[in-house]
Amino acid sequence: MKQILVSLLLLAFAASVAHAERRVALVIGNSGYEHVTQLTNPDNDAKGMAEKLTSLDFEVVTGTNLSLRDMRKTVREFIAKLEGADIALFFYAGHGLQVSGENYLVPIDAELNSYVDLEFEAMPANLVLNAMEHSTKVNLVFLDACRNNPLAENLARSMGTRSGSVGRGLAKIGSGVGSLISFATQPGNVALDGDGENSPFTTALIKHLGTPGQDITRDLVMVRRDVLEATKGQQVPWDNSSLTGEVILKQLEMVQPVEPEKPAINPQIELAYWDSIKSGESIAYFETYLSRYPDGQFADIARIRIDEIKAKAERDKARQNKPDATAEITYWQTIQNSTRPEMFESYITRYPKGIYADLARLKIESIKRQAEAEVRRKAQASAAAPNPVPERTATKRDEEITVAALTPDETPAGVIPSPVTTLSAEELATALQTELNRVGCSVGRVDGDWGNKSRRALRTYGREAGIELASLDPSPDILDQLKKSTGRVCPLTCGRNQELKNGRCVATRKPEPSGNGSKPSTKSKTADSCPKNPTIYGNKIIGRVPGVGRQTLTHPCGRKLACKGSKASWILSCNWI
């Protein structure tokens, strides 16, 4: 089967090549001679050959019953078409003669009363042959011009002793490489005009020329057999060939092979097959189904499943390649509120290009600068105080206040802030949540999920810091602002049964029962025992820290006071509520 298909493809290729050839033909038939008896068939022969050659894809130039002038004009038209042709063909039917070994084609107005008339009234056959061989590589010539010619007799009588140079029939013609010349009969013999519509030679040519898939030399063998049979052996067609390859004027028509009928698909079997693979997670299952049922009931679904499995595999691969930042975030949350620079240095050592690496460097610089500022402050205070007061041991609260004393707009020298615009959406949300927790605006768990709790925390931050926020969605500008905020911004809100004491939420003390079993007496504190200026108490408890935001305290006298720090100065103001 494979060999048959290959053969058919080769034939199709050969047919396409042959069809692409440019073929040009000249067909002349002269019957109506004016000065001798007219011939019966040459004009019919010319018409029949013209139709035959047209069916073989030749561009045909045709002329019948031509005078010398018309013959030259027709030949010139043919020669003009030879440029770029692949095959050239010349067919002539009519009177022809040979003189001194040269062949001449005779127009209908020739008289040939003298030898001189030959050059002016007849056309040399070589005029056409030389032009063909000069222009094309394959040349085919068919001459049905060897009839009994009375003009040759007139010419012989006029030549006297030189009449022997006028030969019988046509002379043998030498051909260049790539040419084939076929005569109606052998050189020196006379061809018959025939009793039918065409001469025996032309009849056989029209029948066999261009047999599909057959070389032209084989065509001429079949022509020779038909002519011998038609003339009972009196006329033997003859040819002279210098062709260098096969010339097939008509290729075999390609027969389209009949495809075997595909076996009918059993829908029940297909359905069972699909049920067995439809839940599969391997592309191979669905590719196998498509190869077996390319136009099946579930073909479209199979292709969709293949695309889904490929997309899932790509997502899984991308997820595996993405580093897990959970450990780093947990580490940072552990140290983010520390006032010890070595804690942040350890983070940078472990995560030199981490999410919070730039923030850690800022924290280190901030702590160092604040420590230096504290040393200078103490030195100045010591120099200004009249009586030196022994320094008390720094408490954790003092450390927190010291760190918070760094102004929000101050950026440590030599530290380049991190370009937060390079963070992904999830990383930006995580960084914002971390910073909001740091400044006391709790978002709860830091998970990168920017939900309602995170938005509420950001709204509270904006209100307490005196910042008008255009949006509650994460943005690099908000993160930059948060990084500049130091200390607590959002007020500390104590829970039930708790009270704010020294900046911390502590459990409310219950009164101890009296020894006699009676209810403990409670001495209510009235407004009379509260100081007039609550700001003094607020500064004493909270300290003069800029930008700390709004806080609510309870004075030992029982009244509550609301304190708010000024972002632009070190003044903290409190009011009774």
pLDDT in tens, 54-69: 999 999 999 999 999 9
Whether 486 and 406 have beta carbons less than 8 Å apart is answered as yes
Q: Is 139 helix (H, G, I), strand (E, B) or coil?
A: strand
CA distance 361 to 414: 10
CA distance 211 to 216: 8
CA distance 289 to 168: 82
Say what the pLDDT of residue 70 is: 96
Whether 102 and 124 have beta carbons less than 8 Å apart is answered as yes
Whether 469 and 459 have beta carbons less than 8 Å apart is answered as yes
Mean pLDDT along residues 282-307: 92
DSSP state of 355: T
Say what the pLDDT of residue 571 is: 61
Residue in 499, 557, 514, 565 with CA at minimum distance from that of residue 532: 557
Query: What confidence tier does 407 reach under pLDDT thresholds 50, 70, 90?
Result: very low
Whether 142 and 182 have beta carbons less than 8 Å apart is answered as yes
Using the CB atoms, write b or e for 47-67: b if 16+ within 10 Å. bbbbebbeeebbebbbbbbbe
CA distance 543 to 555: 15
Say what the pLDDT of residue 402 is: 37
Say what the pLDDT of residue 548 is: 57
Query: In whole numbers, what is the pLDDT of the chain averaged over residues?
Result: 80
- One DSSP character per residue, 525-562 reads --GGGS-S-HHHHHHHHH-S-TT--EEEEE-TTS-EEE
The beta strands (E) that lie in 399-503 are given as 498-501
Mean pLDDT along residues 151-155: 66
Mean pLDDT along residues 484-509: 76
Is the pLDDT at 303 greater than 60? The verdict is: yes
Query: What confidence tier does 91 reach under pLDDT thresholds 50, 70, 90?
Result: very high
Which helix (H) or strand (E) covers residue 396, if one does?
A: helix 396-404
Whether 144 and 92 have beta carbons less than 8 Å apart is answered as yes
CA atoms within 13 A on the CB side of 353: 3
CB atoms closer than 10 angstroms to residue 164: 9
pTM over 0.75: no
Residue in 164, 155, 157, 170 with CA at minimum distance from that of residue 97: 170
Is the pLDDT at 257 greater than 50? The verdict is: yes
Query: What confidence tier does 319 reach under pLDDT thresholds 50, 70, 90?
Result: confident
Cβ-in-10-Å burial (0-12, 13-18, 19+) of 169 comes to: buried
